[in-house]
Structure 1
Amino acid sequence: MDYKEVEQALMAFRDKKGWQKYHNLKDLAISLNLEASEVLEIFQWQPSDHELSDVERQHLEEELADTLIYTFYMCEKLHVDPMDIVAKKMKSNQSRHWETEAK
């Protein structure tokens, strides 16, 4: 699936569930943060070199998907393509960090 197909599927699911009324930027940002915290929880109290079990890896993939889904919902609200804003940010980071390295 490409991004547009994913976006359409997510919006169809949201609309079928009647969740659109809850999808304002503030509440989506809260949900995104909560899901990101669930990503962090997988690593809580583990050593930095901890190897994920198959169960932990599956859980991590599910939580990453949740964070992406809320990010995609926010992008839809803002009428931006997430790939475009990532590309812009990468370009900004490259020029900023290359200037720092040249000094």
Structure 2
Amino acid sequence: MQTNDINLLMDEVIRFRDERNWARYHTPKDLAMSVAIEAAELMEIFQWKDLQRDELLQEKYLLPVTEEIADVAIYLLILSHDLGIDLGEAIRRKLAANAGKYPAGESDNLW
């Protein structure tokens, strides 16, 4: 994934928000809380179920999972935009840090 792809998507999300004049509600605190709330809604789909990967591909699970993942991503894009964070670059830096922390072939037994 290219940083530009993320930036294009971010622009689309911000345009959607700005067309509705919602920026006034989007404080960093409220956006961070919204990420957590949407992540909780994603977790709720799995609560009390032991779903296997092929079961998750059924539309009755895949559609709500997809929608909640999108909600989390939208709030992360807005929060990144509003704080001036290059999300693509932040992800790349985090992957590089994790690669040093958990070298491939040496971290098979973490769990």
TM-score bracket, shorter-length normalisation: 0.7 to 0.9
Q: What is the distance in 1 between the residues matched to 2:7 and 2:93?
A: 19
Q: Could you list the runs of 4 or more consecutive aligned residues of structure 1 that deviate by over 4 angstroms after TM superposition?
A: none
Q: Percent identity?
A: 33
Distance in 2 (CA, whole Å) between partners of 1:3 and 1:49 is 30
Q: CA deviation at 1:96?
A: 1.6
Match of 2:75 among 66, 70, 91: 70
User: 1:14-33: CA deviations, max 9, x gaps?
Assistant: 11111101111100000000
Question: Which residue of the other structure, out of 67, 73, 92, is the alignment partner of 2:97?
Answer: 92
**Residue of structure 1 in register with 2:41 after alignment:** 38
Number of matched pairs: 100
Gaps of 5+ in 2: none
- Distance in 2 (alpha carbons) for counterparts of 1:41 and 1:95: 33
- Report which structure shows greater RCO (CA 8 Å, sep ≥6): 2
CA distance in structure 2 between the partners assigned to 1:86 and 1:4 by the alignment: 13
Q: Which residue of 1 aligns with 2:23?
A: 20
The runs of 5 or more residues in structure 1 that have no matched partner are none
- RMSD (CA atoms): 1.9
How far off its partner does 1:3 sit? 1.9
More helix by share: 1
